[in-house]
Structure 1
Amino acid sequence: MRFGSARLGIIAAGLLCLLSMPGQARDLVIGVEAIDYSPVYGVRDGVFRGAAREILDAFAADKGHRLTFQPLPVKRLYAELNHGGIDLKFPDSPDWQPALRQGRTTAFSKPVINYIDGTIVRREILSVGPEAIHSLGTIAGFTPFAWGERLRSGSVELKENSSFEQLLRQVQTKRIDGAYVNVAVALNTADTLPGLAGTLAFAPQLPHVADSYRLSSVKAPELIAEFDEWLGRNGKLVADIVARTGAEKGVR
C-alpha cells in the first residue's frame, strides 16, 4: 500500500516537530562545593545561593527541569561525579583535579562565570613585586598554584585560615603580606566588613590565574550541550546576573 503525498507530508512534519522539541524536563541533582564563596556561589544555612544559583535556576525554569543542589566536600564531589551519584557539578574546570577524575570522560560547558585567583594586599603596597611577599595566606584546602615555585623554594611561607574575614584582617593588620584568594569573593567580603572597605586591593602584577567556572557532567553530556545552547541564547541575562551580584568584581 502506498502513502499519498499528503500523508507523507504530515509524517515528515511530525518527525521534524519531534526533532526540534527541547530536551525532556528532568529531575536533576547538581553537586556543589560545601563552602561559602559569595557572591559567586556558596552554601549558607544549608541553601545554595549566589550568581551561579540564579543562572542555573533560570536555565532550569526555561527547560522545565527541577533542580536539587547537593553540597559536598570537594573530593566527595568528584567521586559522586565519576560514579553517577550527581547529574551535574558546579563549579568545574578541565584544569582541576585530574587525579580525581579516574579516567572518566567529563563534558564541560562553555564558560559561565569568569574569575581570577590572585593576591590581595594592603592598598599602600599595591605596586610591590613578588620578592616583597614573604608570607601568603589562603583558605584552608586551597592550593595557590601560581605561587608554586616560591612556595617550594621556601621564599614564601604559606599560612592557612578557614575564614575569609580572618584571612583578610590578617592582611590588613600586617600579620601576612598578602592573601591568595578568589578576587571577587575577597573584595566583596572586604566591602561588607567594618574597617576593611577600601583598604585592600588586587595586585595584578603578582602571580595569579584567570579562568572560568563551568558546569560539568559525566553521566549526562547531553545536558551540557543543552546548557550551552541556552547560554548562547541568554548571554544578556547571564551578564546582568553577574553584574548585579558582583560575581566578577575585580575581573574586568
Structure 2
Amino acid sequence: MAWIAVAGAQERANPLIVGVEELNYLPAYGRDENGEYAGFGRAILDAFAEDHGYDLVYRPLPITRLYSGLLSGSIDLKYPDNPRWAEDRKAGRTIAYSAPAMTYIDGNLVTEARDGHDVELIGTVLGFTPWAWLDRIEDDSLQLIESTDLVPVLRQLFAGRIDAAYANVAVAKHVAAENGLPADQLVFRDDLPYDRGTYHLSTTKHPELIAQFDHWLEDNAERVEAMREDYGVGVEELLEPNGE
C-alpha cells in the first residue's frame, strides 16, 4: 500500500518515495481512521513538498524493512529517523539527516493503580529501542515484551500483564483514547528513566534535498511550531512538573 500526496506544480520527473512506519503512532504519524498516512509527520512533509513542488509517495513498511529500504535506496527518504537508531545496520554508510523536525519524550506510562510501584516488565513496539532502560535490559534485571503495534501494548498494560508501557508519551495517550482505553488513567512516570530525542528526515540518495528541508525548517520556524501545537506533539508541558 502506498499513499500519494501531489504537491505543487513544479514536479520532479519521478515522485519521491518516503518510507514511513507501518503502525498507528498518531498524532506524531501513522494511519488515520481511513487508513491514510496522517499526523504531524505528514503535515510537515506535505507542507515542505508543496512549497518546493515535489510529489511524495508515502510507503508504509515494517520498521526493520524501512532500514533495508533506506540502505538499498529503494526509498528516497525515511521518516522518522535518528542517527542513534539501528547504528549497527547503518555502520559504514553515508546517511544525511535533517535538522530535528520534532522533539519527543519516550517514557514509562503506568495505570493509576500501578503509580509508584516497581517496574520489572515493560512493553513496547517491535523495532523500538528503550534507550533509557538498556542497561537493565542487558543485565536481565528488566524484561521487555514487544508487540507489532502500540494498541496491544496498551491493552496489556490495562489488563495488568505488564508493569509499564514504554512509548512516546503524547502518542500513547492519544492512541489509548482513540481505541476506547481510559487515557485519563495513564500516568507518565517521570521519576523513572526516560529518553528525550528528536525525529529527523533521512536519505542515502538525496543529501541536497535534506539541505533544502533544513532551510525550509529554518525559514518556517513559526509555522512548524504552530503545526506541533495543532497536533499536540510538543514536549515542554510534560516536563513542567519537574521544572526542567
Deviation at 1:172, TM superposition (A): 2.8
Matches within 5 A, 1:97-246: 97-127=86-116, 132-194=118-180, 196-246=182-232
Whether the aligned pair in 1 keeps the contact of 2:64 and 2:127 (CA below 8 Å) is no
Deviation per residue, 1:136-186 (Å, 9 max, x gap): 122233332321222233322222333433322332343221111121210
Q: Does 1:87 align with 2:76?
A: yes
Deviation at 1:58, TM superposition (A): 0.6
Structure 2 residue aligned with 1:34: 22
Structure 1 residues without counterparts, runs of 5 or longer: 1-23
Of 225-234 and 170-179, deviating more is: 170-179
Whether the aligned pair in 2 keeps the contact of 1:75 and 1:100 (CA below 8 Å) is no
Query: Cα–Cα, structure 1 residues 169 and 34, in superposed 2: closer, same or farther, change >3 Å?
Result: closer
Runs of 4+ deviating beyond 4 Å: 249-252
* Aligned-partner Cα distance in 2 for 1:31–1:112: 16
SS, match of residue 155 in structure 1: coil
* Aligned-partner Cα distance in 2 for 1:163–1:71: 13
* Aligned-partner Cα distance in 2 for 1:195–1:30: 31
* Aligned-partner Cα distance in 1 for 2:211–2:105: 26
* Aligned-partner Cα distance in 2 for 1:119–1:226: 36
* Aligned-partner Cα distance in 1 for 2:90–2:70: 8
Deviation at 1:127, TM superposition (A): 4.4
Whether the aligned pair in 2 keeps the contact of 1:165 and 1:190 (CA below 8 Å) is yes
Structure 1 residue aligned with 2:59: 70
Query: Cα–Cα, structure 1 residues 203 and 53, in superposed 2: closer, same or farther, change >3 Å?
Result: same
Structure 1 length-normalised TM = 0.81
SS, match of residue 36 in structure 1: coil
Query: Cα–Cα, structure 1 residues 195 and 104, in superposed 2: closer, same or farther, change >3 Å?
Result: closer
* Aligned-partner Cα distance in 2 for 1:156–1:222: 43
- Count, aligned residues: 226
Matched residue type, 1:98? E
Q: Which of 38, 42, 48 in structure 2 is aligned with 1:53?
A: 42
Structure 2 residues without counterparts, runs of 5 or longer: 1-9, 240-244
SS, match of residue 198 in structure 1: helix
SS, match of residue 69 in structure 1: strand
Deviation at 1:41, TM superposition (A): 0.7
Whether the aligned pair in 1 keeps the contact of 2:24 and 2:149 (CA below 8 Å) is no
SS, match of residue 175 in structure 1: coil
Matched residue type, 1:184? A
Structure 2 length-normalised TM = 0.83
Percent identical residues: 42
* Aligned-partner Cα distance in 1 for 2:156–2:66: 31
Of 81-90 and 148-157, deviating more is: 148-157
Deviation at 1:79, TM superposition (A): 2.3
